[in-house]
Amino acid sequence: MRREPIRVAIIGAGIIGASISRVLSMFEDFEVILVEKEADVGWGVSKANTGIIHAGYDDEPELYPLRAKLCVRGNEIWRKWADELDIPVRWCGSLALAFNEDEVNILKTLLSRGLRNGVSGLKIVEAEDIKALEPNASRDAVAALWAPTAGQISPWDAVIALVENSVANGVKLYLSTEVKGIRIKDGKILGLETNRGFLRADWVINASGIYADKIAEMVGIRGYRIRPRKGEYIIFDKEAEPKVTRVLFPTPTPISKGVVVTTTVDGNLMIGPSAEDLNEDLREERSNTKSGLDYVWASASKLVDRLPSKSMIIRFFAGLRPEPTGGDFIVRGYDEVYGFIDAAGMRSPGLTAAPAVAHMVSEILRSLIDRELKRKDSWNPYRKRMIRFSELTHSERSALISKDPRYGRIVCVDEMVTEMEVIEAIKRGATTIDGIKFRTRACMGKCQGSSCMHKIALILSRELGIPLWRVSVKGPGTEIGIGDIKVLFEEGDQCGRCRET
């Protein structure tokens, strides 16, 4: 007899929630819904971090057992996932630079810790060999910890890929759906109270990032708090030189891995993050500050022979990391509440650990419902990313244009993004300017949207059938206009109001 599938609601479509949804979608036993409060996926912690897949030597297993174990495991799984899901990743390796004897000793500690954690290929390299690995590394570095298994990924590409694959495998995505409460009856979870109605669920997995503790409170769990830690970043134009080929770290401190110098998968030099612990109630504080950016610049300068000119900076931004009480990931079920699993406190190395966290959650769920899971025969591990016109050769582009003439219309000049790509991004779920931006790279060039945003908006207006002014950057409240150009005359039209009364 076929059993009713268990309805699992995952709160948060960031890297953790999306990874969990992919893994759970493998099994016939689950009907998975992925619930996200923003208008698109990955807009919380996931879109504003360094995008590094860490090797796994940073986390001391005695202090942070989950971080230590799941980082290394996640690093391994990403190789398979990035391939299956067609996510661009640079397996470039990382160098942690030491500038004095004390730091070299710390690197030696990290080396042995890494070996204990199961990291392969780690070794300490002397000054002469650093340049061979990274020509732009600071010549003042006396030694470095070389971790060839580290990588650089685009975190939002990863989330988008995971969600596309999950949905293709039966997961239902609920966007613009904010969880206001969790309904429990007789100690059993009934479902989610949201701003768009009640969603029935037997199991709730909390992957809500910065707000994880607030969600946990809804079922009476108060064992941890999340404290936001802000990190500021600076991004350079793609043509800015010199770049770096490896991910460059300073020698880490117990508190933070430090300011990084890296080249993103898309070819932009990026430096950051700073690390500023914020007050618990500042969950949306992502402003860039002079002290934060100065700190990033000064710290990054130490790692390289030189940074490009400041005139080549195209953007600065900031992200929040969810620092949990105790510092380690919180991945567990609770005796007190049957039907609730936390996947919280996913600070660094959260992105790296995500696939391993997902498998761990799946295993926790399996053991709590006490049954053997049946894999779907039809489960498809593969997903293809969108064509990037800018990555093709002239003749490849020409061939593409012959297939569909709309590939010939360039809407974002800096990043060479075509109308067809914008339309494809809309097909794949984008309903906002940022949704297009993260799927196509439009608005990510020098102009930061000042030339192309309105062209993207025109296409969204046409394809979604909404007036141009209603097109939004990132959901309700961020529309690009307040009405048509004469709207303020309508409001003040006394005659109009009188006529209505």
Catalytic residues: 54
Q: Under the criterion CB under 8 A, does residue 297 sit at the interface with another protein?
A: no
Q: Under the criterion CB under 8 A, does residue 298 sit at the interface with another protein?
A: no
Q: Are 392 and 400 in contact (CB under 8 A)?
A: yes
Span from 103-111, 132-140, 372-380, 441-449 in contact with another protein (CB under 8 A): 441-449
* Residue with smaller CB distance to another protein, 60 or 463: 463
353/66 Cα distance (integer angstroms): 9
CB of 62 to another protein, least distance (A): 39
Beta bridge partners of 276: 230
Sheet holding 151-153, edge to edge: 52-53, 151-153, 89-90
Q: Under the criterion CB under 8 A, does residue 324 sit at the interface with another protein?
A: no
Instruction: Single out the residue of 316, 334, 338, 379 in contact with another protein (rule: CB under 8 A).
Output: 316
Q: Site mask, another protein, residues 393-432, x = CB under 8 A?
A: -xx-xx--x---xxxxxx--x--x-x--------------
Q: Site mask, another protein, residues 237-266, x = CB under 8 A?
A: --x---------------------------
Pairing of strands 417-418, 89-90: unpaired
Closest by CA position to 390, among listed 245, 267, 222, 224: 267
**Burial of 129 from C-beta contacts in 10 A (0-12 / 13-18 / 19+):** middle
* Residue with smaller CB distance to another protein, 117 or 274: 274
Specify the 3-state DSSP secondary structure of 42.
Answer: coil
Instruction: Single out the residue of 486, 498, 499, 501 in contact with another protein (rule: CB under 8 A).
Output: 486
Q: Under the criterion CB under 8 A, does residue 458 sit at the interface with another protein?
A: yes
CB of 40 to another protein, least distance (A): 14
- Residues ≥6 apart with Cβ < 8 Å to 477: none
CB of 36 to another protein, least distance (A): 16
| Buried-exposed string 130-169: b where 16+ CB fall within 10 A, e elsewhere | beebbebbbeebebbbbbbbbbbbbbbbbbbbbbbbbbeb
Q: Under the criterion CB under 8 A, does residue 172 sit at the interface with another protein?
A: no
Beta bridge partners of 82: none
Q: Under the criterion CB under 8 A, does residue 500 sit at the interface with another protein?
A: no
Specify the 3-state DSSP secondary structure of 392.
Answer: coil
Angle of helix 433-440 versus helix 155-168 axis, rounded to 10: 100
Q: Under the criterion CB under 8 A, does residue 308 sit at the interface with another protein?
A: no
Q: Under the criterion CB under 8 A, does residue 469 sit at the interface with another protein?
A: yes
Question: In the complex, which residues of this chain contact another protein (CB under 8 A)?
Answer: 239, 284, 286-290, 293, 311, 313-317, 394-395, 397-398, 401, 405-410, 413, 416, 418, 446-448, 450-451, 453-454, 458, 467-469, 472-475, 477-490, 492
